[in-house]
Amino acid sequence: MDDGQSVVTRRQRRGAVSLLLAMVLLGVFPLDVLLPSFPALAEHFRRTPADIALSISLFAVGIAFAQLLIGPLSDVIGRKGLLLAGMSVSILGALGCVMTSDYSLFLMFRVLQALGCGCFVLSQALVQDLFEGEERDRLRILMVTAGGIFISISPLAGTFLQATLGWRGSFWVFIALSAAVLLKAWLFLENTRPTATGTRTNFLTAYRRVLGDFDFVGYWLISAFAFACHFSFIVISPLIFMDRLQLSAYEFSLILLIYGAAYVTGGILASVLSRRINSGQQMVVGLSLILFAGVTMLYLSSNFALAPATVLIPMLICTAGTTIARPAATSRAMSLFPENAGTSASAGSTIIFICGGLISALISLSPTNLQSTLGYSFVILSGVALALNARISRRNDLVGQPDSD
């Protein structure tokens, strides 16, 4: 339906949106919420904080592997069963983390939790299945905005949970939220398989099909580069604010809360722009803002001493750009292979994870000024993404493909 009407009824719409937002929350909650509990976990397991950080890395690796399997499987057997199974596995993994006192077992259960959390990649496939047209694009803007807010407030929630319930508190909250979402998914989602217009393909064939398309990979790279700018800041923010500027954990959490508020502003701006310009132009606007943020950060780092304001001001601009560019690029990529929505979502999420993880790691290991390194990365990533978008547009013009939304 090109008129932008939803393929679900109005009575179902609210339930679908709340389910998708809950999936976004559970997809990011287990990562950042543990950061304030590193000292307590290190004491409990008699390990160094660096050892505890390994659980975050293993969690991310586990999610990446799970996503590669879950997306294509969902195209064949449907979304509901995999989502329920994945959430059940994540709950078992979280329970194991709470119960064990052995560090090796803790890591094993953490990976198990991550494998289950890989099912939350299906949120993008469900958007593709349940919504169409402008409503689908608006929902993706909302999900990107919500994801940024959840990532930003997770350390603050972790600080509160650590102070009240100890390090196990974040796992108990995750278990409770997952159980509630599992019940909602079981009641709300229908046990149907995605409709396919052609013959079903195996994993490798499906991935070869989507990853062999230049436009598909290009749009996901644009989304990944925009995400990497945001994620790199989240990763190195403790080094800047707590290590260099000596802010307390509570003050650091408030900084991230302000940063999260910028996602709300960016989401509102993205919603307004989506009604006035096409998705290709939205990407240009968003990436240009990220480029401007990088130039601003480089100027501030060269002419002013390091302070919360000199980091936050360009990051607020970058956040607005990320919130505008990512949903537009994601919608373009997901629209190319609707019959392989699960595979498309998994391939795209893996690209985003790899780019975000590698780029943030390189920035955090930089021996030079972290602020200027972050600024240079914004300029380079946004420049490459703008070039990619221009290349895709030129290719589509040459073959006479319309600039669809």
Q: What is the pLDDT of residue 46?
A: 86
- The phi-psi region of residue 63 (left if phi > 0; otherwise alpha if psi is between -120 and 50; otherwise beta) is alpha
CATH of 205-400 among 3.40.190.10, 3.30.9.100, 1.20.1050.10, 1.20.1250.20: 1.20.1250.20
Determine the Cα–Cα distance for residues 69 and 91; give it in Å rounded to an integer: 19
CA-wise closest residue to 246 among 258, 238, 235, 257:
238
Q: What is the CATH number of domain 12-133+154-189?
A: 1.20.1250.20
CA-wise closest residue to 289 among 311, 326, 324, 321:
321
Q: CA 192: distance to chain centroid?
A: 26
- Is 50:173 a contact under the CB 8 Å cutoff? no
Share the mean pLDDT of the chain. 81
Determine the Cα–Cα distance for residues 93 and 189; give it in Å rounded to an integer: 24
Determine the Cα–Cα distance for residues 364 and 93; give it in Å rounded to an integer: 29
Domain ranges within the chain, ordered by starting residue: 12-133+154-189, 205-400
pLDDT of 38-85, one tens digit each?
Answer: 778 888 888 876 577 667 767 777 887 788 888 777 777 777 888 889
Q: What is the pLDDT of residue 400?
A: 59
Say whether 205-400 and 12-133+154-189 share the same fold: yes
Residue 252 phi/psi, 5° resolution? Answer: -60, -40
Determine the Cα–Cα distance for residues 119 and 61; give it in Å rounded to an integer: 14
Q: What is the pLDDT of residue 367?
A: 62
Q: What is the pLDDT of residue 269?
A: 82
pLDDT of 105-140, one tens digit each?
Answer: 998 999 899 889 888 877 777 777 777 777 777 777
pLDDT of 268-319, one tens digit each?
Answer: 787 788 788 888 889 999 999 999 999 999 999 999 988 888 998 999 899 8
Band of residue 96 on the pLDDT scale cut at 50, 70, 90:
very high
